[in-house]
């Protein structure tokens, strides 16, 4: 019986998600201007679902103060209260409201992960494209530097840097961004190397175009597809890095709500068959899946244009 009801729940959730995705797509098609509506009409349900989820997260992050029933850090009840009454998801190990902390967690964790990934991409792709376009000593210098950085295990390197520079949100973002930028650098450089040998790049060079235009207007648009795909994946890795660092005590510092450390703080409850500590983990998983759904769709569109 337990198995059957589990299967029914799963089916209900899947059907609900599909219906939500379908409704969202229909709404977008109706509301958006003609060109964007045409794009949305051909979007698969997975992409639409991904968009809904991302939108929900963004809303939660931006309007956290309005949505959350309790403050982020206040102790509002007894420890480990069950899911009832005012505390719809119960309370955590210190008696703070779980639901409110989940919503504030969206702001903190997602915000930091987005900022970090964006910075890593800015740094990695600009340097990677530059190395591939200019070549020679610049390429050698940058590539060897990246090799050295990549030779050190990422987590240990991050721990080392955070111990040296201290743990603040800004250093956290900078450290993870620099480490992840090395991976982006290698990808961007490899992709751009295939593009710089094309005749249209030669034509642009012979026209006398300057380096910034060459990189931004001629090379970057052609390198976008793999970079966007990497963005989705990299975002998930950054997310996990932050959670791992938080777990080790060098990430986002308590009492700030962060999904990674929330799992750890409430881990004891799992022993009692309570799923509450898995909710933040589930929130991470859902966002990861949603981002990749959207990225896959964008990638498909980008490759479709080439044919």
Site residues, another protein (CB under 8 A): 198-200, 202-209, 218, 221-222, 305-307
Q: C-beta of 221: minimal distance to another protein in Å?
A: 4
In whole angstroms, the minimum distance from the beta carbon of 209 to another protein comes to 7
Q: Provide φ and ψ at 87, rounded to 5°.
A: -95, 90
Largest Cα span, the chain: 74
Q: Which is nearer to another protein, 61 or 214 (CB)?
A: 214
Closest CB to another protein among residues 168, 217: 217
CB of residue 297 vs another protein: minimum separation in angstroms?
A: 17
The rounded Cα 79 to chain-centroid distance in angstroms is: 31
CB of 138 to another protein, least distance (A): 15
Distance CA 72, CA 10 (A): 31
Q: Which two tokens stand for residue 234?
A: 């990299």
Least Å distance, CB 19 to another protein, is 24
Using DSSP, state whether 84 is helix, strand or coil. strand
Nearer to another protein, 239 or 297 (CB): 297
Of residues 85 and 207, the one with the C-beta less far from another protein: 207
Nearer to another protein, 194 or 254 (CB): 194
d(CA 29, CA 22): 11
Exposed e or buried b for every residue in 210-233, given b needs 16+ CB within 10 A? eeeebbeebbbebbbbebebbbbe
């Amino acid at each position: 019986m337990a198995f059957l009801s589990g299967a029914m729940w799963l089916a209900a959730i899947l059907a609900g998600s599909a219906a939500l995705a379908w409704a969202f797509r229909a709404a977008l098609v109706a509301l958006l201007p003609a060109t964007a509506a045409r794009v949305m009409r051909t979007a698969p349900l997975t992409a639409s679902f991904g968009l809904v989820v991302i939108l929900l997260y963004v809303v939660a992050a931006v309007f956290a103060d309005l949505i959350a029933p309790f403050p982020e850090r206040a102790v509002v009840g007894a420890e480990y209260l069950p899911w009832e009454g005012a505390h719809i998801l119960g309370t955590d190990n210190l008696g703070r409201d779980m639901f409110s902390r989940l919503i504030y967690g969206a702001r903190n964790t997602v915000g930091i992960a987005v900022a970090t990934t964006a910075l890593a991409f800015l740094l990695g792709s600009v340097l990677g494209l530059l190395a591939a376009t200019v070549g020679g000593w610049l390429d050698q210098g940058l590539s060897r530097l990246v090799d050295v950085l990549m030779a050190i295990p990422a987590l240990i390197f991050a721990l080392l840097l955070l111990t040296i520079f201290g743990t603040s949100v800004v250093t956290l973002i900078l450290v993870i961004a620099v480490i992840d930028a090395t991976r982006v650098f290698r990808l961007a450089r490899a992709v751009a190397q295939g593009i710089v040998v094309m005749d249209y790049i030669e034509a642009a060079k012979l026209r006398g175009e300057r380096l910034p235009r060459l990189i931004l207007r001629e090379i970057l648009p052609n390198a976008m597809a793999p970079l966007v795909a990497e963005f989705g994946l990299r975002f998930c890795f950054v997310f996990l890095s932050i959670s791992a660092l938080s777990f080790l005590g060098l990430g986002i510092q308590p009492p700030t709500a962060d999904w990674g450390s929330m799992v750890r703080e409430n881990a004891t409850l799992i022993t009692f068959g309570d799923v509450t500590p898995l909710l933040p983990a589930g929130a991470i998983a859902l966002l990861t899946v949603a981002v990749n759904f959207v990225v896959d769709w964008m990638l498909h569109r980008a490759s479709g244009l080439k044919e």
